[in-house]
Amino acid sequence: MKMEKYEDAVSYIMSIPRFSGKNENLHTESFLNFLNCFDSKAKYIHVAGTNGKGSVCAFMTSICMEMGMKTATFTSPHLVDIRERIAVDGKMIAKEEFLSCFVLVRDALEDYRKQGNEDYSPSFFSYLFFIGMEAFHRAGAEVVILETGLGGRLDATNSIPAKSVSIITEIGMDHMEVLGDTIEKIAGEKAGIIKAGVPLVFADRKGPASRVIRETAERLGADYYPIIAPNSDKILPINKRIAFSYESRYYNNVTLKIESPAVYQVENAMLALAGLERVFEKDRISLKDMEEGLLKMKWPGRMEEVEPGVFFDGAHNVDGVKMFLESVKHDECKGKRRLLFSAVTDKQAYEMLGLIEESGLFDELATGCMETGRSKSREELEDLVKDNRNASVFDSVTEAYRMLRASKRADDYLYVCGSLYMIGELKGGNGYND
C-alpha cells in the first residue's frame, strides 16, 4: 500500500468505517506504545462529555496560547477539512505534515502486525488519533488537549499512559445505540476517563449523571471538582458578549467575559478554567492569561455568526437544542427569526423539533436533505414538519439556506441548527461526527 499523496492518505482514512466496533484499550495502548510518540514531559488534558467538549478544548487552547505554551489539540468532528481535528497552536497541521505522519503510522502498523498482531486494524477515529499523537510529538507540544470521539471508556484517547486532569462536560442522551439507553449508563461510559490520582473537573448539572461520576471518582481515589454554571436567566448577553462570575482557585471571585452570544458557553468556559487551574500553579497561569484567552477563543459552528445576523450552531441532540434555544431567547433580534433545521437518522429529530416549535421563537422554518448518507429523506422530513404551517421542505439544505438567506431582512436573524454535518456542508465540506 504505497501512498505518497495527501489526497490518497485522506481517501484511505475516509474509507475506514466511522462507526465500527471499538478496539479493546489494550490493543490501542499497545500500538501507541509501539509508535513511541507519547511525551512524558507534556501536560495531557482529557475531555469527555456529550455537549461542549470542543468548546472546552478551544477555551483551554486559547488560554494556553496566551500563556506562551506550545499547545496541541485533537478534536472532532471536522466541518470542512479533516486536518481541523489535529491542530498546533490553534492551526491545523499542514498537508505535508499530515501525509508524513500518516505514512509513519501506516508503516509502523505493518511492522506491528508482523510481530504477532496481524488482526489489529485501527478504526477511523483511532487512525487519526495516532496521526495526531505523532504530529504533536514532532511539534514538541507542551500541552496536549484530547477530546474523546464517542464515550470515553473505550475511546482511543483513553489509551494515553498519563494525564494531568480529566474533564467531563454536560451529559445527555446521545449515541444511545452505543453508550446505553439511560443517563446513568452514558455517564458510566464517560466516567471511564477518570483515573486514580488524576484530578477531575465535571459539569454538575444532572443528578443521576453526577452521582455516577462522583462514585467513580471516589472509588478510584481521584479528587473531583464539580462546576455549577449560573442559570441562563442570570446571564445577559450584551452586544454578543457575555460577562459572568467565576470562583477562581487562585484569584477568588472574578468577573470574566466571553466573545459569544451563546449562554451555554459560560459553563464550558468555567470547566476550561477549573481544569487549567488543576494543571498549573498560580505563578504559571495569570488572571490576564485567563481574561485574554477567553475573549480570543474561536470555535466554528457553535453559535457562530458567519455574517451579520446569521448564526450556525451545532446543536444536534435534545440537550444541545435546549441550550441553543436559551441563547436565542436572549438575542437582540429586532425583526423576524428564521431557522434552518435538519437531522440525521439516528438523532431524536421529533423531540428536537418539538422543543423548537414549543419555544415559539421562530417565524419561519425550513428543512432539507443533507449530502451524507445518514440524512433523513425528503419523505421523513415532510412527515417531521407536517403539522407546522410555517415550515418548508427542500431537496437540499443548501437550497433551503439560500431561500432563507434571500428572504432575510437587515433586522432579521437566521439560525442554522440540528446537525454538524449540515454546517460542514454549508461551509463547503463534509464533516463526520464520531
Q: Give 257-296 pLDDT, tens digit per residue.
A: 999 989 999 999 999 999 999 999 999 999 999 999 999 9
Side chain identity at residue 253, one-letter code: N
Of the candidates 225, 239, 157, the residue with the CA atom closest to the CA atom of residue 193: 157
Give bridge partners of residue 307 from the DSSP assignment: 310
Architecture of domain 304-427: Alpha-Beta Complex (3.90)
Residue type, 9: A
pTM listed for this prediction: 0.93
User: Is 60 exceeded by the pLDDT of residue 429?
Assistant: no
| β-bridge pairing 364-368 and 337-341 | parallel
| pLDDT band with cut points at 50, 70 and 90 for residue 378 | very high
- Mean pLDDT (whole number) for 387-397: 92
- List the single range of 152-166, 233-247, 302-316 with lowest mean pLDDT: 233-247
Is the peptide bond between 77 and the residue preceding it cis, with omega within 30 degrees of 0? yes
Q: What is the pLDDT of residues 288-301, one digit of tens each?
A: 999 999 999 999 99
Least confident piece of the model among 236-250, 333-347, 355-369, 390-404:
236-250
Strand-strand pairing, 165-168 and 200-203: parallel
- Owner of C-alpha cell 479493546: 24
CA distance 306 to 301: 9
| pLDDT at site 17 | 79
- Structural domain boundaries of the chain? 6-296, 304-427
Residue with grid cell 448564526, as numbered in its chain: 311
- Is the domain defined by 6-296 classed in CATH 3.40.1190.10? yes
Q: Is the distance from CB of 52 to CB of 203 less than 8 angstroms? A: yes
| Partner residues linked to 51 by β-bridges | 170
- 97: cell is 505534515
Digit-coded pLDDT (tens) for 19-69: 555 556 788 999 999 999 999 999 999 999 999 999 999 999 999 999 999
Spell out the SS3 assignment of the chain. CCCCCHHHHHHHHHCCCCCCCCCCHHHHHHHHHHHCCCCCCCEEEEEECCECHHHHHHHHHHHHHHCCCCEEEECCCCCCCHHHHEEECCEECCHHHHHHHHHHHHHHHHHHHHCCCCCCCCCHHHHHHHHHHHHHHHHCCCEEEEECCCCCCCCHHHHCCCCCEEEECECCCCCHHHHCCCHHHHHHHHHHHCCCCCCEEEECCCHHHHHHHHHHHHHHCCCEEEECCCCHHHCCCECCEEEEEEEECCCEEEEEEECCCCCCHHHHHHHHHHHHHHHCCCCCCCHHHHHHHHHHCCCCCCCEEEECCEEECCCCCHHHHHHHHHHHHCCCCCCCEEEEECCECCCCHHHHHHHHHHHCCCCEEEEECCCCCCECCHHHHHHHCCCCCCEEEECCHHHHHHHHHHHCCCCCEEEEECCHHHHHHHHCCCCCCC
**Mean pLDDT rounded to a whole number for the chain:** 92
